[in-house]
Amino acid sequence: MELDRDKCCYCGGCVGICPENALELRETALCIDGERCKNCGLCAKFCPVGALTKDENS
């Protein structure tokens, strides 16, 4: 997944949505664990500001 850091408002909503626990909200950044992420796109659908987009190359 690709994160647009300018759009993300760190609401943390996507963290609880991910079935793989690949998302973690730290103080100043949302971290995506590329090892865990299955690129299912759930978080991208959930994000209210469209900050997450599917990485078509993975």
Q: Which two tokens stand for residue 6?
A: 């300018």
Does 53 help bind ligand SF4 (rule: CB under 6 A)? no
d(C-alpha 42, C-alpha 37), whole Å: 11
Give the shortest CB-50-to-ligand SF4 separation in angstroms.
8
d(C-alpha 10, C-alpha 32), whole Å: 13
Q: Nearer to ligand SF4 by C-beta: 28 or 46?
A: 46
Residue 24: beta bridge partners?
31
- Interacting residue ranges for ligand SF4, rule: CB under 6 A: 1, 8-14, 17-18, 20, 22-23, 30, 32, 37-43, 46-47, 49, 51-52
